[in-house]
């Protein structure tokens, strides 16, 4: 019974991580459980410090209780050994100097681009390439997906496994955006940014043909 409860909590964490704040009813519908069962799990998770809630106004009826992940819950997801990375980055910047450190970021960017290009080799068309890139990034811990809404295409990363390192060195984010521009489209645009307080990083993908 304890294992089943843990499994349900893990599913709820993953669902809210990828969908954003949800009501107990929305969680129940998505995970095919009763509203009472979902609410019970979520109240337990709130006591454990994993979830928090607030009431949001709705078009019809009284405000709805919406649940979101706490910082403790965010720590349940891979973090790429953030404390170690932050410490190493600080030491590297101090010992190497800004110029040499930037050269290391550029070198990393080239290696990543080469690796991604190799894995995307032979994949033709915008959506197949986006799908393959999402698969690659998900394997690296970014929980990536493609969302089509309102006639737009978004490349979404619901988690950043190097978030704390990126706070220390935002060149990582700039570097990854340049890689996406090279692989997908030079006009791809960052619209949601975790370091700005958003729930996710999202990129708006132009649907016109990639300039040759």
Residues 68, 86 within the same domain: no
Is the torsion defined by CA of 195, 196, 199, 203 positive or negative?
negative
Residues 20, 86 within the same domain: no
Question: Does the structure show a pLDDT above 80 at 109?
Answer: yes
Per-residue confidence (pLDDT) for residue 79, from 0 to 100: 63
Q: Which two tokens stand for residue 186?
A: 């030079």
Per-residue confidence (pLDDT) for residue 14, from 0 to 100: 86
Residue whose token pair is 């979404």: 156
**Top-confidence residue, 160 or 86:** 160
pTM: 0.70
Residues 100, 6 within the same domain: no
Residues 149, 199 within the same domain: yes
pLDDT digits (tens, 9 = 90+) for 31-81: 999 989 998 998 998 999 888 888 887 667 778 888 888 878 877 776 655
DSSP 211: P
Residues 102, 174 within the same domain: yes
Residues 59, 114 within the same domain: no
Distance CA 60, CA 57 (A): 9
Residue 33 falls inside a structural domain: yes
Residues 37, 89 within the same domain: no
Per-residue confidence (pLDDT) for residue 1, from 0 to 100: 45
Question: Does the structure show a pLDDT above 80 at 142?
Answer: yes
pLDDT digits (tens, 9 = 90+) for 88-103: 666 766 776 667 777 7
Residue 211 falls inside a structural domain: no
Q: Which two tokens stand for residue 211?
A: 């300039």
Residues 40, 66 within the same domain: yes
**Among 45, 74, 103, which residue terminates a domain?**
74
* Domain containing residue 29: 2-74
Residue 210 falls inside a structural domain: no
Residues 114, 9 within the same domain: no
Q: For residue 199, which of 67, 16, 12 has the smallest C-alpha distance?
A: 16
């Amino acid at each position: 019974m304890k294992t089943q409860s843990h499994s349900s909590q893990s599913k709820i964490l993953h669902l809210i991580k990828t969908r954003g704040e949800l009501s107990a009813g929305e969680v129940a519908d998505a995970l095919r459980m009763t509203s009472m069962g979902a609410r019970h799990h979520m109240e337990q998770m709130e006591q454990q410090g994993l979830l928090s809630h607030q009431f949001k106004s709705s078009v019809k009826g009284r405000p709805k209780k919406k649940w979101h992940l706490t910082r403790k819950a965010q720590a349940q997801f891979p973090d790429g050994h953030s404390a170690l990375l932050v410490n190493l980055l600080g030491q590297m910047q101090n010992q190497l100097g800004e110029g040499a450190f930037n050269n290391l970021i550029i070198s990393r960017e080239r290696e990543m681009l080469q690796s991604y290009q190799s894995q995307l080799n032979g994949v033709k068309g915008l959506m197949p390439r986006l799908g393959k890139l999402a698969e690659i990034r998900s394997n690296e811990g970014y929980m990536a997906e493609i969302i089509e809404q309102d006639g737009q295409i978004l490349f979404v990363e619901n988690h950043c496994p190097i978030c704390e390192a990126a706070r220390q060195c935002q060149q990582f984010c700039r570097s990854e955006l340049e890689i996406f521009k090279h692989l997908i489209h030079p006009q791809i645009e960052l619209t949601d940014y975790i370091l700005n307080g958003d729930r996710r990083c999202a990129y708006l993908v132009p649907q016109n043909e990639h300039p040759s």
